[in-house]
Amino acid sequence: MTVAVRYSRGGDKMKPRFIIAIKVITRFISADRISESVRLKPSHVLKRNESNHLGKKWRKTSWHYQRFGPKSGQASKLVLDALSNWPRDAARKLKEIDQECEVFLIVSCVHDTYTASCVLSHEAISAAAERGMSILFSSYPGSEMEAVVPRPAGMNSRHRRGAGLTHPQHARA
């Protein structure tokens, strides 16, 4: 069963916008090899040993395939659409090359209210599990642009981060 995400503000029914991403974090696999393995062009890549905005070098490669959904879209439908492009055995093959390789499905919700909820269907969760992915949920109160624009130099960890691009758990990837 698929359930649409709904939340209210002042009695009005509003719908958030979802950003769905697949993220691969690895120390030993190059971005080109990941792209070749999954047969997809990344939306964004942070390469190992490249300098970040603070001048520090990334310790791992972080490869992102990102999809932006329409404002009226359901999270489950967007997840299934993004996963339909991802080969079922890609995560397993990447983990054979680098045992520490991590593959995430990131579901980000951009909303303009205090809180929001996201429900994924059994089919969407199963599709991610079949592909060997962990699921990471992110919530970004504020405008759409605030969520997708990477944080400027000098912002500390208490400030809003980019949609799945620099999640605190993986910011030092």
Q: Is residue 6 part of a domain?
A: no
Sequence-ordered list of residues with C-beta below 8 angstroms from that of 43, at least 6 positions apart, any chain: 21, 64, 65, 66
What pLDDT does residue 151 have? Answer: 44
Q: Is residue 105 part of a domain?
A: yes
Find out whether 44 and 24 touch, Cβ atoms under 8 Å.
no
Output 46 or 72, whichever has higher pLDDT.
46
Q: Is residue 137 part of a domain?
A: yes
Percentage of the chain modeled with pLDDT above 90: 42
What pLDDT does residue 160 have? Answer: 40
Q: Is residue 59 part of a domain?
A: yes
Domain that holds residue 92: 12-148
Domains held by the chain: number: 1
Find out whether 22 and 64 touch, Cβ atoms under 8 Å.
yes
Q: Is residue 4 part of a domain?
A: no
Per-residue pLDDT of 120-144, as tens digits, reads: 899 999 999 999 999 998 888 775 5
Q: Is residue 3 part of a domain?
A: no
What is residue 73's three-state secondary structure?
coil
| Strand runs labelled E in 17-150 | 17-26, 44-46, 61-68, 102-111, 134-141
Q: Is residue 161 part of a domain?
A: no
The DSSP output letter for 65 is E
Q: What is the pTM of this model?
A: 0.70
Using 50, 70 and 90 to split pLDDT, how confident is the model at 41?
Answer: very high
